[in-house]
Structure 1
């Protein structure tokens, strides 16, 4: 099993959309996939589940399961034992125990979801406090807090026997993301070709190296054997360029100017290379065109963009775009799988 976090500390680059579609495409390619939503905004969860299912998971009373005003559904994706990431960490948040086992939600055959929860933001302070207290290894409670996401990931992945875990996180460098990224074997970075994404890379690279160094050199050697802890690898797989909508008032050359700078910034900031000459597009996994016209149709149909059919409103030239979308995500997924084979075994 290998885990991949999709992360950029600049928001609005299509990270959650990328995670959602990669999960579906990797499943199509024969893999058993677990998507884990560790973004308190829970947008990935909202992409997978409808409002009634979310209401049941989040214990909202105005749902069919609670006798709310809506008509009861004949079918629900939820089963006994399903819960969110907050369900799993609630004993830690309340100071009454360790993580609780939850069953991931089955989305389709060989694809599961550990749902997110807006209440996850309340875990930020607990994680911030636990980080320095875990440096000596004497405070086992602090180490259990810091490793909670890793242990939830490991437990749920083993329960359903997946081979790939995709982790969606928020666009920041806070304590929640630190714990989430430490749990990841590899990191894939969605980027837009603009100033903000480049600035995000410049902040992201040094921070990941600092977290990795502290974890591996200070914390990990002192973690008691009884506590399952991540290696803190966060191996940089590369980046995916998410193309914007091209407008007449934003010339192509302006987009190209930022695009040309990404390889050097990635090499120096993320890979910590003093000399980035000759790196070219080595770490560019794919460039995805803009599918903005497909997004509302996919949202209404509650399916990936590349699954849209004429009955969903994908007519004429739109169906051609759907086919291109399928080929683009298939090529991206196949290239990602090749890159995962290069992740060091001692991660």
Structure 2
């Protein structure tokens, strides 16, 4: 099993859309995929589950205590009947009553599972901030708090024998994302070719290296063997450029200008090199065109864009667009799988 965090500290670049479609396409390739929603906004969970299922998860009866004491109030005949979220898993830590609770992933389809998010996850931010500082001194309670996401994900991945774990995180450099990212083997960055994404890379790269250094050099040597802990490798897998609303073959001048700067910024800020050739795009995985015209249809049909049929409203030229979407996401998934194999070999060294 290898994990990938999809992260950019700039919002609105299509990160969750990429995670959703990548999860489905990797599953089509015969891989067992666990999607994990660690964004407190829970957009990935909302994209996968319908409103009835979300109500079952996020209502009062989604809490562990309520589920156990009032089982008759659970909603029936949904994929989320009797299921819990990540917020339920960390509730014992939040309330000071124990360690993480096991969460069984929701079966989305054969070979694809979801570890659901919850808006209540935002309440964990302060606890994680304090835990990070206290873990420097080897405090076991602080270490259990900081490693909570890693241990929840690891348990869930093993329970479904996942090949790849995709972790969707929010667009910031706060304590929740720090705990999520140190749990990840690799990091995939969706980018827009604009000033804000490049500025985000300049902040993100040094921060990831700082987190890795402090965890590996200060905290991890003090962690007792009884507490499973991540290596915080966070290997940069590469970046995916998410195209704005314009034709791929005719990018506007501003787009070209920012596009040309991405390799150098990524090489220096994220990879940590003193310099990087401006034309070296070896970490550029793909450029995904804008499929905004397919999004409303996919949302209504509650399926990936590349699965849309005529019955979903994908008629005429739109159906050809759906086929192009399928081909591009398939190529993206194949390239990411190849890069993950290389990363897996690096992790074993």
TM-score, normalised to structure 1, is 0.94
Counterparts of 1:223 and 1:53, CA distance in 2 = 38
Give 2:66's aligned residue: none
Q: Deviations over 1:243-298 (max 9, x none)?
A: 00029xx9711100000000000000000111202651100000000000000000
Give 2:79's aligned residue: 77
Q: How much has 1:342 moved relative to structure 2?
A: 1.3
Q: How much has 1:59 moved relative to structure 2?
A: 1.9
- The answer to whether the 8 Å contact 2:185/2:234 transfers is yes
Displacement over 6 Å in runs of 4+ = 65-68
Residue aligned with 1:166, SS: strand
1:114 lines up with 2:103 in the alignment = no
Counterparts of 2:168 and 2:56, CA distance in 1 = 22
Residue aligned with 1:342, SS: helix
User: How has the CA–CA distance of structure 1 residues 2 and 67 changed in structure 2, closer, same or farther, with 3 Å as cutoff?
Assistant: closer
- The answer to whether the 8 Å contact 2:147/2:230 transfers is yes
Give 1:88's aligned residue: 89
Q: How much has 1:346 moved relative to structure 2?
A: 3.6
Mapping for residues 18-97 of structure 1, pairs under 5 Å: 18-60=18-60, 75-80=77-82, 82-97=83-98
Counterparts of 1:199 and 1:181, CA distance in 2 = 19
99-108 or 238-247, larger mean C-alpha shift = 238-247
- The answer to whether the 8 Å contact 1:267/1:279 transfers is no
Give unmatched runs, 5+ long, in structure 1. Answer: none
Give 1:345's aligned residue: 347
Counterparts of 2:184 and 2:152, CA distance in 1 = 12
1:100 lines up with 2:101 in the alignment = yes
Mapping for residues 1-347 of structure 1, pairs under 5 Å: 1-60=1-60, 75-80=77-82, 82-137=83-138, 139-246=139-246, 252-277=252-277, 280-343=280-343, 344-346=346-348
- The answer to whether the 8 Å contact 1:151/1:229 transfers is yes
Q: Deviations over 1:161-186 (max 9, x none)?
A: 11100000000000000000000000
- The answer to whether the 8 Å contact 1:7/1:188 transfers is yes
Counterparts of 1:346 and 1:150, CA distance in 2 = 18
Counterparts of 2:80 and 2:73, CA distance in 1 = 16
How many equivalent pairs are there?
A: 337
TM-score, normalised to structure 2, is 0.93
- The answer to whether the 8 Å contact 2:264/2:278 transfers is no
Give unmatched runs, 5+ long, in structure 2. Answer: 62-70
Counterparts of 1:141 and 1:19, CA distance in 2 = 32
Q: Deviations over 1:75-119 (max 9, x none)?
A: 411243x21000110000111000001110000001000000000
- The answer to whether the 8 Å contact 1:79/1:105 transfers is no
Residue aligned with 1:345, SS: helix
Counterparts of 1:78 and 1:67, CA distance in 2 = 13
Q: Deviations over 1:39-87 (max 9, x none)?
A: 00000000000111001011258xxx9879xxx87x411243x210001
Residue aligned with 2:342, SS: coil
